[in-house]
Amino acid sequence: MTSSIHLRARGLHQTYDLAGTHLKVLQGVDLDVVRGEVLFLRGPSGAGKSTLLYILAGLEHPREGTIEFEGEQIFKLGSDQQALLRNRRMGFVFQSYFLLPELTALENVMLPAMLDGKKNEAKARTLLGRVGLSERLDHLPSQLSGGEQQRVAIARALVNDPSILFADEPTGNLDAATGAGIIDLLLELTRQDSRTFVAVTHDPALAALGDRQLYLKEGHLHQTA
């Protein structure tokens, strides 16, 4: 059974001290994500969903707690090894697309592969085709719509063929119809390739499309709202 656990979080605590206030955001979060699972995280604004997602992805270090990803304790690795693991095995999609403005769509998608010493132009072209942007390869981000920019960001997240994809409100800046299209695309691209998908959303209709939903409230994860 243990082998089917893709990501295991234990005892996550996160606090922020800022301007004399002590904020307890995560107060003992435990989570097991099964390989191939589509999990949505929900909860009120400010509950700590983004914080939790960034910690699960190793982008932020918790005050306390552990993350085991594919059997490895990620916070025990050195920072270079953590960066390598993230670049090779994890993909991220954010609410703001974070494309590099001076690079074309194709170059933006190729970037994570190039950072790993690979020049994966064919893969980048294929992925841009899968997200429906074969005709936009040479466009700069400023020449693309919001939905198109998010499609480029999705292709970029997948170029190194990650086993897990994280998304923080990937439809947050898009209108309802465009957002629904983006979620359909994310689910198709994760399910077709048997990836694990962990995403934060405020939208109950989108969250219902996954295998499981969890709610973050008052520092803990709950099965119901």
Residues of this chain that bind ligand ATP (CB under 6 A): 16, 18, 23, 25, 43, 45-51
Q: How far is the CB of 48 from Mg ion (least distance, A)?
A: 8
Considering CB distances under 5 to 8 angstroms, the limit depending on partner class, which of Mg ion, ligand ATP, none binds residue 25? ligand ATP
Considering CB distances under 5 to 8 angstroms, the limit depending on partner class, which of ligand ATP, Mg ion, none binds residue 45? ligand ATP
Phi first, then psi, for residue 55 (nearest 5°) are: -70, -45
Q: How far is the CB of 36 from ligand ATP (least distance, A)?
A: 25
Q: Which is nearer to Mg ion, 69 or 94 (CB)?
A: 94
Q: Which is nearer to ligand ATP, 53 or 144 (CB)?
A: 53
67 neighbors 56 (Cβ within 8 angstroms): yes
Q: How far is the CB of 53 from Mg ion (least distance, A)?
A: 8
51 neighbors 14 (Cβ within 8 angstroms): yes
- In order of 8, 17, 110, 194, the CA distances from 171 in angstroms are 26, 30, 23, 22
Q: Which is nearer to ligand ATP, 23 or 225 (CB)?
A: 23
Closest CA to 187 of 162, 207, 173: 207
Q: Is 104 in the site for Mg ion (CB under 5 A)?
A: no
Residue entry with tokens 């920072």:
79
Q: How far is the CB of 7 from ligand ATP (least distance, A)?
A: 18
Considering CB distances under 5 to 8 angstroms, the limit depending on partner class, which of Mg ion, ligand ATP, none binds residue 46? ligand ATP
Nearest-10 Cα torsion for 139, 142, 145, 149: 70
Q: Which is nearer to Mg ion, 14 or 50 (CB)?
A: 50
In sign, the C-alpha dihedral spanning 69, 191, 95, 140 is: positive
CA 199, CA 217: separation in Å to the nearest integer?
16
Q: Which is nearer to Mg ion, 50 or 190 (CB)?
A: 50
Q: How far is the CB of 63 from ligand ATP (least distance, A)?
A: 12
The binder of Mg ion chosen from 8, 37, 40, 50 (CB under 5 A): 50
CA 198, CA 51: separation in Å to the nearest integer?
13
DSSP 44: -
> What are the residues binding Mg ion (CB under 5 A)?
50
